[in-house]
Amino acid sequence: MFSKILIAGRGEIAVRIIRACREMGISTVAVYSEADRDTLHVAMADEAFCIGPASPAQSYLNMDQIISAALVSGAQAIHPGYGFLSENADFAEACRQNNLTFIGPSAEQMKRLSNKETAKNLMREAGLPIIPGCGILHSVEEALVEGRKVGYPLMLKAASGGGGRGIRLVQHEDELENAYQTSVAEAKSAFGDGSVYMEKYINPARHIEFQILADEQGNVVCLGDRDCTIQVNNQKILEESPSPAVSDETRMKMIPLVVDAVKKTGYTGAGTLEFLMDGEGNFYFMEMNLRLQVEHTVTESLTGIDMVKWQIRIAAGIPLGFTQQEIDLNGCAIECRINALAPGRVTFIHQPGGPFVRFDTYLVMGTEVTPYYDPLVGKLIIYSTTREEAVRKMNAALCELIIEGIPTNVDQQIRIVGSKEFI
């Protein structure tokens, strides 16, 4: 087991990883930008290194600075959290070349699975159903030809990255040229890769994902499914597990398919297979996330399995300590993402409490929320034995959560959770 780990991230996920390391007796090293000098993860870590100015490109995306901090501190491994370099194959390879363990899949696995087109081909070969569509498009003319084959309406999607960027719904052929150019430009700006492809538009649809853990000995388990359908601007805002739209019978059919597909890819670490489910209950594979996800917390609350600790153990070569049959998927867990709507300084914060109520955050009184990074400032997670009670518990917890000094989306979350449609 590692004795010291560097966390190559910030915010609530850096705090989360530091807590897991503490419980495992592992020393921690934080890295931070000049804008994050006074944040919670810096105060909690055993050591901390400033790696550059506020700009992510000069700090949290600066591979050389992060690797140097790890080597100087004597860390044996780097946990990338999520975002930033968490799915960067070059960073994983740089860790390997410097005798540092990257807590996640290998660079080779990332290269095979991070590109959505490649991942779809691998999953199709592994037996998973794929959304009808086409490969990477190279011109408007090619897009027009492929669009007639796929049929309208269709979706244009970026081959790299995520977060809802580079996505365009095209209802009719006369919209395609403008949508194609816009999608390519947005993808290139966001990910440095303007590659896009198209898929058949599935509507109505639910966004369902399956969480897996895979060790280096070839053992793979699926920790159930999550429903991520509630989104704003194609970005997840509320997740729950299990999905209320998936029957137990369907779930028990999907889990072995997911496990078998992951085994065939040779993947190791924590990963998530994302699907669209149509109105008839048919599943279509979209992409695989090769990292810890924001919403891993609902899976932890549902199963009682600490995913961060298991990420670390797997990276250290330790086999999974449980089997698929031992995973309990009873009850209901819900997460609401709490986002800052504008920068500012937190003047007061009150966190909700009670049994099975959890609030993951980096906020304390006086925290400066800057405009440089993702607006996520916290995640409110609850668990109950039934969905009906879970919804009531989440509503109560949201009403108890108070953050003053910055505007947040708490009121929006209260409206969603209390709506008849969500209930």
> Any idea which residues carry the catalytic annotation?
291
In contact, 380 and 400? CB cutoff 8 Å = no
Dihedral of the alpha carbons of 193, 194, 200, 205, in degrees to the nearest 10: 60
Residue among 114, 72, 73, 76 at smallest CA distance from 95 = 76
d(CA 84, CA 90): 12
The residues, any chain, with a CB within 8 Å of residue 303's CB and separated by 6 or more, are 223, 224, 327, 328, 329
In contact, 48 and 13? CB cutoff 8 Å = no
d(CA 87, CA 72): 24
- Distances from the Cα of 265 to the Cα of 54, 104, 255, 313, angstroms: 38, 15, 16, 20
Q: Is 66 helix (H, G, I), strand (E, B) or coil?
A: helix
d(CA 411, CA 391): 15
Q: Is 32 helix (H, G, I), strand (E, B) or coil?
A: strand
Type of residue numbered 290: L
In contact, 367 and 40? CB cutoff 8 Å = yes
Type of residue numbered 400: E
Q: Is 330 helix (H, G, I), strand (E, B) or coil?
A: coil
CB atoms within 10 A of CB 61: 18
Helix (H) or strand (E) holding 14: helix 11-23
331: left (phi over 0), alpha (psi -120 to 50) or beta: left
Type of residue numbered 265: T
**Cross-strand bridge partners of residue 213:** 221, 270
